[in-house]
């Protein structure tokens, strides 16, 4: 067999021969300063994704419509992570024997977060929210997740003209979105329709009036009162068309499910693409079952095994929280996957339209306890939140 002479192959062999001595030389001539223990990339990742944060409640302020506003700072005095206006955090507190959490949309702006301040608006309704409104006090400490959620403006997906429709405490994410528009953090034109019973039931009325003077378009729609400068009735298509070009807008909806149904019916004749109507997903609640049964739930958490009770009408997450187990969760709506746990045995039911699991999770037996109800005795393996 004959080999053709290849000059470059020969040069490669020479270089290869010198590879190790050259490396030794380069290493010997390098500085002997120790490698950094912390890299800037890691510091930035830690700032943006701190996981669970310990926070202190610094101020409580009453708002209209049975709502209260809560201002927090981080216990280690660092800034809150930057977030997209419209996102939420989940707040966790020890209430009696329970270790409960609830997601709340952030009211304050992303810029406020960098200044170390985060504000939530909470309506006095339900187990956790009532605790916050009636018992939490300034100086109390809580655990809070980093901001999360898909309910925010996205340049590549959404129209620059956004129509936001709020009902009741659903005003909270829009306060943040309006601030982000006015301070230049976000680039969109926002028109806000706010449905309320009467003028007494408009939280953040003063703040919204001040924002309207700076360029936010706000239309109040009162269902039980007629007043000058306010629309009355419901948020119908005709009313929306009076103030906005509906065919070129992206809609953001946040409020009670009855409002979602009503507004979606109103928008139906427009034939809008699915992506044009975005809804903030509410938490999965207890099922309405008269005389619900009680099952046994075995929970494996790291090296511990807990035998607890789970009611037929409550999610596995609620059962674990009631028993004081520190199970991870964020959205409580089946979407974020943060509560992702391994099913071992037992029958269960998943809330309608809430199964956000990937196909692989379904195949390999993973569940989201925040939207899963027991239908018999069960056993699951759950990670520890922190
Ligand atoms: S908490 Fe988000 S999927 Fe369960």
pLDDT tops 60 at residue 244: yes
In a domain, 11, yes or no: no
pLDDT tops 70 at residue 4: no
Tell me, yes or no, whether 234 and 319 share the same domain: no
Rounded to the nearest angstrom, the distance between the alpha carbon of 123 and the centre of ligand 1 is 22
In a domain, 43, yes or no: no
Q: Which one of 145, 174, 202 terminates a domain?
A: 145
Instruction: Report the CATH number that the domain containing residue 179 is assigned in CATH.
Output: 3.40.50.80
Ligand 1 pocket, 338 CB below 6 A? Answer: yes
pLDDT of the residue at 304? 97
pLDDT tops 90 at residue 110: yes
In a domain, 288, yes or no: no
pLDDT tops 70 at residue 172: yes
Tell me, yes or no, whether 69 and 170 share the same domain: no
Instruction: Report the CATH number that the domain containing residue 376 is assigned in CATH.
Output: 3.10.20.30
Tell me, yes or no, whether 250 and 178 share the same domain: yes
pLDDT of the residue at 57? 98
Q: For residues 238-242, give the mean pLDDT.
A: 97
Phi, psi of 366 (to 5 degrees): -105, 150
Rounded to the nearest angstrom, the distance between the alpha carbon of 160 and the centre of ligand 1 is 30
pLDDT of the residue at 12? 82
pLDDT tops 80 at residue 259: yes
Contacts of 334 (CB under 8 A, 6+ apart): 284, 350, 351, 354, 355, 356, 357, 368, 370, 371
Burial class (CB in 10 A: 0-12, 13-18, 19+), 212: middle
Rounded to the nearest angstrom, the distance between the alpha carbon of 284 and the centre of ligand 1 is 10
Ligand 1 pocket, 149 CB below 6 A? Answer: no
Among 87, 150, 331, the mutation site with the greatest number of ligand 1 atoms within 8 A of its Cβ is 331
In a domain, 24, yes or no: no
Which among 212, 56, 185, 190 is positioned nearest to 109, based on CA atoms?
185
Contacts of 33 (CB under 8 A, 6+ apart): none
Ligand 1 pocket, 281 CB below 6 A? Answer: no
Rounded to the nearest angstrom, the distance between the alpha carbon of 31 and the centre of ligand 1 is 49
Instruction: Indicate which atom in ligand 1 lies nearest the CA of residue 331.
Output: 2
- % of the chain with per-residue pLDDT over 70: 98
| CA distance to 38, 266, 294, per residue, from 141 (Å) | 29, 44, 33
- pLDDT tens digits for range 38-47: 999 999 999 9
- pLDDT tens digits for range 46-85: 999 999 999 999 999 999 989 999 999 999 999 999 999 9
- pLDDT tens digits for range 284-314: 999 999 999 999 999 999 999 999 999 999 9
pLDDT tops 90 at residue 35: no
Rounded to the nearest angstrom, the distance between the alpha carbon of 334 and the centre of ligand 1 is 5
* Distance between CA atoms of residues 212 and 303, nearest Å: 56
Q: What does DSSP assign to residue 284? A: P
Rounded to the nearest angstrom, the distance between the alpha carbon of 367 and the centre of ligand 1 is 10
Tell me, yes or no, whether 98 and 169 share the same domain: no
pLDDT of the residue at 8? 64
Q: For residues 326-340, give the mean pLDDT.
A: 96
Among 89, 334, 354, 366, the mutation site with the greatest number of ligand 1 atoms within 8 A of its Cβ is 334
Ligand 1 pocket, 68 CB below 6 A? Answer: no
Give the domain extent around 192. Answer: 161-279
In the block, which residue shows the tokens 């999360």?
A: 148
Ligand 1 pocket, 331 CB below 6 A? Answer: yes
The total number of structural domains in the chain stands at 3
Phi, psi of 25 (to 5 degrees): -65, -45
Q: Which one of 103, 120, 145 terminates a domain?
A: 145
pLDDT of the residue at 321? 98
Ligand 1 pocket, 119 CB below 6 A? Answer: no
Tell me, yes or no, whether 274 and 351 share the same domain: no
pLDDT tops 60 at residue 3: no
pLDDT band at 136 (very low <50, low <70, confident <90, very high): very high
pLDDT of the residue at 11? 80
In a domain, 272, yes or no: yes
Q: Which one of 279, 310, 335 terminates a domain?
A: 279
What pTM did the predictor assign? 0.90
* Distance between CA atoms of residues 122 and 203, nearest Å: 11
Which 3 state secondary structure label does DSSP give 251?
A: strand
Instruction: Report the CATH number that the domain containing residue 97 is assigned in CATH.
Output: 2.40.30.10
Tell me, yes or no, whether 258 and 300 share the same domain: no
pLDDT tops 70 at residue 121: yes
- Long-range Cβ pairs for the range 346-353 (8 Å, 24+): 346/295, 346/374, 346/375, 346/376, 346/377, 346/378, 346/379, 346/380, 347/374, 347/375, 347/376, 347/378, 348/316, 348/372, 348/373, 348/374, 348/375, 348/376, 348/378, 349/373, 349/375, 351/284, 351/287, 351/315
pLDDT of the residue at 7? 62
Ligand 1 pocket, 370 CB below 6 A? Answer: yes
In a domain, 36, yes or no: no
pLDDT of the residue at 90? 98
Ligand 1 pocket, 382 CB below 6 A? Answer: no
Which among 24, 46, 166 is positioned nearest to 107, based on CA atoms?
166
Tell me, yes or no, whether 76 and 113 share the same domain: yes
Tell me, yes or no, whether 166 and 272 share the same domain: yes
In a domain, 240, yes or no: yes
Which among 374, 375, 335 is positioned nearest to 354, based on CA atoms?
335
Tell me, yes or no, whether 134 and 181 share the same domain: no
Tell me, yes or no, whether 165 and 211 share the same domain: yes
Q: For residues 373-377, give the mean pLDDT.
A: 98
Rounded to the nearest angstrom, the distance between the alpha carbon of 328 and the centre of ligand 1 is 8
In a domain, 343, yes or no: yes
Rounded to the nearest angstrom, the distance between the alpha carbon of 361 and the centre of ligand 1 is 14
Tell me, yes or no, whether 217 and 306 share the same domain: no
Q: What is the mean pLDDT of the chain?
A: 95
pLDDT band at 272 (very low <50, low <70, confident <90, very high): very high
pLDDT band at 14 (very low <50, low <70, confident <90, very high): confident
pLDDT band at 2 (very low <50, low <70, confident <90, very high): low
Ligand 1 pocket, 334 CB below 6 A? Answer: yes
8 A C-beta contact, residue 248 and residue 159? yes
Ligand 1 pocket, 337 CB below 6 A? Answer: yes
Tell me, yes or no, whether 121 and 189 share the same domain: no
pLDDT tops 80 at residue 86: yes
Rounded to the nearest angstrom, the distance between the alpha carbon of 199 and the centre of ligand 1 is 36
8 A C-beta contact, residue 104 and residue 172? yes
């Amino acid at each position: 067999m004959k080999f053709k002479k290849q000059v470059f192959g020969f040069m490669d062999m020479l270089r290869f021969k010198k590879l190790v001595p050259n490396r030794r030389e380069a290493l010997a001539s390098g500085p002997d300063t120790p490698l950094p223990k912390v890299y800037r990339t890691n510091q930035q990742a830690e700032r943006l994704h701190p996981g669970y944060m310990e926070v202190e409640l610094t101020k409580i302020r009453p708002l209209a419509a049975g709502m209260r506003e809560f201002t927090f700072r981080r216990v280690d005095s660092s800034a809150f992570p930057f977030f997209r206006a419209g996102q939420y955090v989940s707040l966790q507190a020890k209430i009696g024997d329970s270790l409960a959490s609830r997601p709340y949309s952030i009211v304050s702006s992303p810029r406020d977060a960098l200044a170390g301040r985060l504000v939530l608006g909470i309506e006095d309704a339900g187990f956790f929210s009532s605790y916050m409104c009636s018992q939490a006090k300034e100086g109390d400490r809580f655990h809070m997740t980093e901001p999360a959620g898909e309910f925010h403006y996205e340049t590549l997906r959404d129209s620059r003209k956004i129509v936001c429709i709020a009902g009741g405490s659903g005003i909270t994410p829009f306060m943040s979105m309006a601030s982000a528009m006015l301070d230049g953090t976000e680039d969109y034109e926002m028109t806000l329709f706010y449905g309320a019973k009467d003028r007494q039931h408009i939280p953040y009325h003063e703040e919204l009036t001040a924002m309207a003077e700076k360029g936010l378009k706000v239309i109040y729609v009162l269902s039980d009162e007629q007043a000058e400068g306010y629309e009355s009735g419901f948020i119908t298509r005709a009313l929306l068309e009076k103030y906005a070009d509906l065919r070129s807008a992206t809609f953001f909806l946040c409020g009670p499910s009855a409002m979602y149904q009503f507004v979606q019916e109103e928008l139906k004749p427009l034939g809008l693409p699915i992506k044009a109507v975005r809804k903030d997903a509410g938490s999965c609640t207890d099922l309405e079952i008269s005389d619900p049964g009680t099952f046994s739930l075995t929970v494996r958490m790291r090296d511990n095994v807990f035998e607890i009770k789970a009611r037929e009408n409550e999610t596995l997450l609620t059962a674990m929280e009631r028993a004081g187990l520190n199970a991870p969760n964020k959205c409580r709506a089946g979407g974020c996957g943060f509560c992702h746990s391994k099913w071992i045995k037992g029958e269960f039911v998943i809330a309608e339209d809430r199964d956000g699991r990937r196909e692989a999770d379904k195949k390999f037996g993973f569940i989201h306890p925040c939207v899963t109800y027991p239908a018999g005795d069960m056993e699951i393996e759950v990670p520890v939140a922190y």
